[in-house]
């Protein structure tokens, strides 16, 4: 938009206001403000949309291991990382899935294999067959506890035919992960792959498992197209909220319109990481967003080097809880962010450091909002 065009539009707006009458405009504006305030004060009025009672309660996990224990000295998204997180005290695990060339669902975060092989393989995981996937050679921060955890699992996983070295060197299939962890442990599956076969194959894999496993599993995608496909595939499987939907919910709340909108998700996630230019410009979520709009988002969601202030609304979280939607705080890797999460009513937290966080929570008697709590 040119400067001349912007001036023309602004002039037309002023002319319209003059014709309409500033007093009339002020009255309408005041009415809208009163309406918004009433919606904030009474957000659960009986005639407004709510959530129907769940047939199955949500998993009651409190601490979510992000890719297992991904920054505590063992390779992320491996059997070793997941079991290490469970041993630390995590009751939910988060992982990422892709499809290999021969249609195996594998657990890996990046599409490229470069980061987790220290550059020895730069192929995309979708271009290789499962049998051709390279061994993992992780970054420095994911190596220093390998030997210690290997000693804990000196015999590997005999029932699965997996030795201790393969627990950290090999990219696992989703089936292997499901076999290795108890069904009682919650699971959040983030779908990275947009191939047409992914959703049906993932659904088939999950449905082949026990009811306990299915009741303890969420799936979601940060990609809106994939997310919508998951919802269409099976609406009964619990779903986490993608980022753009979170932003939408926050703005609807601030405008006083959220009480009139049905929030179609099972959990609400608040990312504790700072919104930086590097994140916005390099995150695939925003790849289709024009640069000028990215700059506006950075300005709006800046958090002074921490959690964006615009996301921190305890009344919003309370309103969502009354609809049966708990708030999970993501990226909780230090005591400060844990305290913020607890203060604002966290039902659970996702962390890269489960050994540190679980120990702190246990030693200090930290308590979380119950998933089923209604204020």
Q: For the stretch 302-334, what's the b/e string if a residue is b when 16 or more beta carbons lie within 10 angstroms of its beta carbon?
A: bbeeebbeebbbeebbbbbbebbbbbbbbbbbe
- Note whether 85 and 162 are same-domain residues: yes
Distance CA 113, CA 76 (A): 13
pLDDT at 282: 72
Contact assessment for residue 315 and residue 40, using Cβ atoms and an 8 Å cutoff: yes
CA 134 to chain CA centroid, nearest Å:
28
Distance CA 51, CA 58 (A): 14
pLDDT at 84: 96
pLDDT: which is higher, 52 or 96: 96
- Note whether 336 and 210 are same-domain residues: no
- Note whether 212 and 353 are same-domain residues: no
pLDDT: which is higher, 374 or 296: 296
The catalytic residue among 66, 108, 313, 344 is 66
- 9 domain-assigned: no
Judge whether residue 112 has pLDDT over 70. Answer: yes
Each residue's pLDDT tens digit, 196-242: 999 999 999 999 999 999 999 999 998 888 999 999 999 989 999 88
Distance CA 182, CA 274 (A): 34
Domain that holds residue 66: 59-234
pLDDT: which is higher, 61 or 329: 329
pLDDT at 250: 86
Residue spans of beta strands (DSSP E) within the chain = 63-66, 92-99, 105-107, 186-191, 217-220, 238-239, 268-271, 327-330, 348-351
Judge whether residue 302 has pLDDT over 70. Answer: no
The catalytic residue among 40, 108, 109, 144 is 109
pLDDT at 26: 65
Other beta carbons within 10 angstroms of residue 84's beta carbon come to 27
**Number of structural domains in the chain:** 2
- Note whether 163 and 91 are same-domain residues: yes
CA 31 to chain CA centroid, nearest Å:
37
pLDDT at 328: 94
The DSSP 8-state label assigned to residue 123 in this structure reads -
- 175 domain-assigned: yes
- Note whether 79 and 139 are same-domain residues: yes
Structure token digits, residue 311? 């996301």
pLDDT at 2: 59
Each residue's pLDDT tens digit, 38-56: 665 665 554 455 554 455 6
- 373 domain-assigned: yes
pTM of the model: 0.83
- Note whether 253 and 373 are same-domain residues: yes
Judge whether residue 374 has pLDDT over 50. Answer: no
Q: What is the mean pLDDT of residues 13-39?
A: 63
Paired strand residues for 106 = 98, 173
- Note whether 209 and 247 are same-domain residues: no
Q: Which residue has the tokens 């890797």?
A: 333
Each residue's pLDDT tens digit, 116-142: 999 999 999 999 999 999 999 998 889
- 323 domain-assigned: yes
pLDDT at 256: 78
Paired strand residues for 8 = none
Domain boundary among 186, 214, 234: 234
Active site residue 144: no
Domain boundary among 234, 261, 290: 234
pLDDT at 64: 97
pLDDT at 253: 85
- 156 domain-assigned: yes
pLDDT: which is higher, 11 or 348: 348
Judge whether residue 276 has pLDDT over 60. Answer: yes
pLDDT at 229: 93
Distance CA 137, CA 76 (A): 11
Contact assessment for residue 324 and residue 51, using Cβ atoms and an 8 Å cutoff: yes
Name, in order, each residue with C-beta under 8 angstroms of 188's C-beta and a sequence gap of 6 or more.
64, 92, 93, 94, 95, 217, 218, 219, 220, 240
């Amino acid at each position: 938009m040119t400067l001349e065009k912007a001036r023309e539009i602004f002039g037309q707006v002023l002319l319209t206001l003059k014709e309409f009458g500033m007093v009339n405009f002020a009255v309408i504006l005041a009415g809208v403000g009163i309406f918004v305030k009433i919606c904030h004060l009474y957000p659960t009025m009986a005639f407004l949309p709510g959530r129907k009672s769940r047939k199955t309660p949500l998993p009651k996990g409190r601490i979510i291991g992000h890719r297992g224990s991904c920054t505590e000295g063992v390779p992320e998204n491996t059997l070793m990382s997941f079991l290490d997180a469970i041993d630390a005290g995590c009751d939910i695990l988060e992982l990422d899935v892709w499809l290999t060339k021969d249609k195996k669902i594998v657990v890996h975060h990046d599409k490229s294999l470069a980061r987790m092989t220290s550059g020895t393989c730069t192929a995309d995981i979708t271009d290789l067959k499962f049998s051709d996937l390279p061994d993992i050679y992780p970054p420095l921060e994911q190596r220093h506890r390998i030997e210690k955890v290997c000693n804990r699992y000196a015999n590997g996983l005999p029932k699965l035919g997996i030795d201790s070295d393969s627990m950290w060197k090999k990219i696992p299939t989703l089936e292997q992960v499901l076999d290795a962890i108890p069904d009682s442990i919650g699971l959040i599956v983030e779908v990275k792959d947009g191939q047409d076969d992914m959703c049906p194959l993932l659904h088939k894999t999950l449905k082949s498992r026990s009811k306990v496993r299915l009741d303890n599993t969420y799936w979601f995608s940060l990609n809106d197209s994939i997310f919508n496909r998951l919802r269409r595939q099976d609406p009964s499987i619990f779903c986490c909220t993608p980022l753009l939907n979170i932003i939408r919910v926050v703005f609807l709340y601030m405008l006083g319109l959220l009480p009139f909108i049905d929030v179609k998700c099972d959990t609400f996630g608040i990312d504790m990481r700072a919104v930086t230019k590097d994140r916005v410009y390099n995150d695939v979520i925003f790849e289709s967003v024009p640069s000028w709009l990215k700059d506006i988002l950075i300005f709006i969601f800046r958090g002074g080097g921490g959690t964006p202030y615009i996301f921190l609304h305890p009344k919003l979280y309370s309103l969502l809880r009354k609809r049966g939607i708990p708030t999970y705080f993501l990226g909780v890797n230090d005591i400060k962010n844990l305290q913020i999460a607890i203060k604002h009513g966290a039902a659970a937290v996702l962390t890269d450091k489960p050994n540190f966080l679980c120990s702190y929570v246990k030693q200090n008697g930290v308590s979380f909002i119950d998933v089923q709590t209604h204020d």
